[in-house]
Structures are given as C-alpha cells and as structure tokens.
Structure 1
Amino acid sequence: MSVFDNLVGQEHVVEIIQKAVASARNGEETQEMTHAWVFTGPPGSGRSSAAVAFAQALVCPHDGCGTCNQCKSAANGAHPDVEIIRTEGLSIKIDEVRELLARVAWAPSMGGWRVVVMEDADRLTESAANALLKAIEEPGNRTVWLLCAPTLHDVLPTIRSRCRHLQLVTPSAIAVAQVLQNRDGISPQMADFAARVSQGHIGRARYLATNESVRNTRS
C-alpha cells in the first residue's frame, strides 16, 4: 500500500514526487526537492490528492506507506507539521493567510519538513496572495508549500514563477474502471459504465458505481 495508490493515471507526477521525497531525506532543498510547488489539473484529476500524498510522504518514515500514524494523521489534518487549507468560501482573505503564516513560522516539531497544502490557491485575494508571496520568497527552514489550482494562470504570476509546476491529467476511463474493480470490488460491467459516464472523474465514478439510487436517477 502507498499514499500514491489513489493517483489514477498520474504516473509521471508520482515519479517526480517520489524523487523529490527521496532527495528530501537529508532535510535540505535540492534540485529535485524545492520549497514551493503548484499542482494543476481539471476537476477529478486528483490535484489536491497528489498534494496531500506528497505531504504524507514527506513526514512518513517510509516515504508514504499510507498505514503509519504519520501518514494517517497528515491526511486527516491532525499532524503537527502538516497544514491542509480548505475553504468553503469564495475567497481566501489576507487575515487567514496571516494566521497561517504565524502557525507555520516555527521549525517542524517532529523533525523533517513542515508542509502546507493549500487546496484552492486560485481563491486567494490579491492582498492574501501578496502576503503568501513574501513567505514563498523567504521560506522558513524545511518548510514546503504545495498549492493547488485548476490551471497555472489561476495563480499569481509572481507566485507561480517561484514554484515547480506539476500538471495532472484526466485519467482514462479504462484506468478509472480498473481502480474501481481492484480497490472497490466493483463488477467489470459496472466499473466500465461508471468510468465512462463520469468522464474520468474517479470520485464521481466511485459514487455512481456504489450508489444505486443515483444510477436510477440518471437512467
């Protein structure tokens, strides 16, 4: 098992992240491991999942085993060195960013890296983005920023120019169907149907395949 198992059809991204994690073991920034990243991709591609998996792997003693306490606590927001910023509002305001910067100003409490995952970096207001820019320009010791947005153009140019960019793609229906069969025990016929109808969106495909009332509504 691995934290990267759910990144369907993103082998190129997983390879880059795994190289970065391996390089990060010495606790220093290298050519493979930089302090700021932007994950982009269409809905359902798993950009936020990729960022969270990266965070898990950085704090995991086994490079992202998916089963240890470090991996589990990082995923559910309980790890002291991992911040996952999710918003239900229309924007992320400067006060929220300032509070975040105050929380992550300290060195990692458990060694290794302090990781900040911002799932909706495209919702930063201009003032909030400028505040974040300063933190990215002057990163804290062993602090990594993982920003997520639909496209690179949704991120302030001065921020994206300082980040390494990872582009996720919509997984193929075949890949999604295979995952539904192998991990969720869905029949081949149902997995194929759900994958095609969801157009490669793994979350929607799983929901459709496991929810009979939704399938009846669509039919």
Structure 2
Amino acid sequence: MTVWDDVVGQESAVGTLRAAVADRAAMTHAWLVTGPPGSGRSVAARAFAAALQCPQGGCGRCQACTTSLAGTHPDVTLLATEKVVITIDEVRDLITTASRSPSGGRWRVIIVEDADRMAERTTNVLLKTIEEPPPQTVWVLCAPSVQDVLPTIRSRCRGVVLRVPPPQAVADLLVRRDGVDPAVALSAARAAQ
C-alpha cells in the first residue's frame, strides 16, 4: 500500500510526482495539476502532499501519510470551494499560512482545488507568493486545463497532466478498495466515465 494506490491510470503523472519527492533536484515550489473532470486531480494532489510529508516518500501507513490523506495534517492546507469563485480573502489566508514554517512536517503544502475559479484580481494577489515562495512551501494548484489558469501563474508552475483513467483501472480500484463485485465495478466505472 502506498499513497499512490488511488491515483489510477496516471502512471506518467505519478512517475513525475514520485521523482520530485525522491530527488530534491526534481522538486519545485509550485505545481499545476490539470485534467478533465474525473481524472483525479484532487486525489493526485493529496497523494503528492502525503508523499512529501512521509519520511519514506509515501508509504501510505505512517501518521504523516494517513493524516495528509485524511485532510488533518497540520502542514497540509486544502482550499476547496463549492462557490463560483475563490475570493481574495481566501487567497490572502492561504498566503499567510504559506508564510509559516512547517510545524512538524517536512513541507508546508498548500493545495488549491479548482484554481480556475480565481478571478484575475485574485490570481494576481497569489502571484507574488508563487514567484517568491517561502522556504519549504509547496503550492499545488488544480484546474481542468492549463488554459484555465492565467499565463503568469502557469509559467511559474511545473505542470502535471492527468487523463480520464480507463474504466478497467477504476473498476480494479473499486474491487480492491471497496470490495465491489468486479462486474458491477466495471459497469459503474463505464457509466461514470
């Protein structure tokens, strides 16, 4: 078991993220995870955050992994919204959080789901922090495509592109993780696309 087990059908992206965790030279301060709905952007972002916190690089069993994946690790912050836009005040709060050193983890990781929901003015507030991040801070922005994020932000991020996973990979996950009957799992994966 590793933190990457639920990131199905994304071998290339997982390889890139694993390499960054394992080799400081491959690591950067800002990432842009893109992919269509259903590709697992948030799952990949959380797995990456867990792997960054884990002393073994993503074992999936230690406290750093389990709390990161559960959203309770003190050095992993997730901004997810159901609203139409992410507000300037929400981004300012993230910038304040990012300026602090990690409290016990290896990194301070800030994940912004639906980064495409930031208006240009809001994105400009974030830009300076992305350009000159505090040490030990990693930004992980998620969006459907690179075109959904302003060029000034995407040019400062390392991109990871996800695709919709094949139905069989999703079915295998449902069988392994949830004990779903294989035929039902495949049917559900196909229906959900």
Contact conserved, 2:64 with 2:105, CA < 8 A, in 1?
no
Q: Tell me which amino acid in the other structure corresponds to 2:48.
A: F
User: Which of these residues, 101, 105, 109, is aligned with residue 107 of structure 1?
Assistant: 101
**Identity across aligned pairs (percent)?**
55
Partner of 1:11: 11
- Within the alignment, does 1:185 sit opposite 2:179 as a pair? yes
Q: Tell me which amino acid in the other structure corresponds to 1:92.
A: I
| Structure with greater contact order relative to length (CA < 8 Å, sep ≥ 6) | 2
What 5-or-longer segments of structure 1 have no aligned partner? 25-29, 200-219
Partner of 2:140: 146
Partner of 2:114: 120
Residues 111, 68 of structure 1: CA spacing in aligned structure 2 closer, same or farther, 3 A cutoff? closer
RMSD (Å) for aligned C-alpha atoms: 1.2
Aligned residues: 193
Q: Please state whether the residue corresponding to 2:23 is helix, strand or coil.
A: helix
Partner of 1:174: 168
**Structure 1-normalised TM-score?**
0.84
Q: Tell me which amino acid in the other structure corresponds to 1:148.
A: C
Deviation at 1:96, TM superposition (A): 1.3
What 5-or-longer segments of structure 2 have no aligned partner? none
Contact conserved, 2:29 with 2:139, CA < 8 A, in 1?
yes
Q: Tell me which amino acid in the other structure corresponds to 1:58.
A: L
Give runs of ≥4 in structure 1 deviating > 3 Å. none
**Counterparts of 1:181 and 1:52, CA distance in 2:** 22
Using the TM superposition, name which of 80-89 and 70-79 deviates more.
Answer: 70-79
Partner of 2:79: 85
Q: Please state whether the residue corresponding to 2:123 is helix, strand or coil.
A: helix
Using the TM superposition, name which of 96-105 and 10-19 deviates more.
Answer: 96-105
CA deviation digits over 1:83-132, x for unaligned, max 9?
11111211111111112111221121225211100011001121210011
**Structure 2-normalised TM-score?**
0.95
Deviation at 1:78, TM superposition (A): 2.1
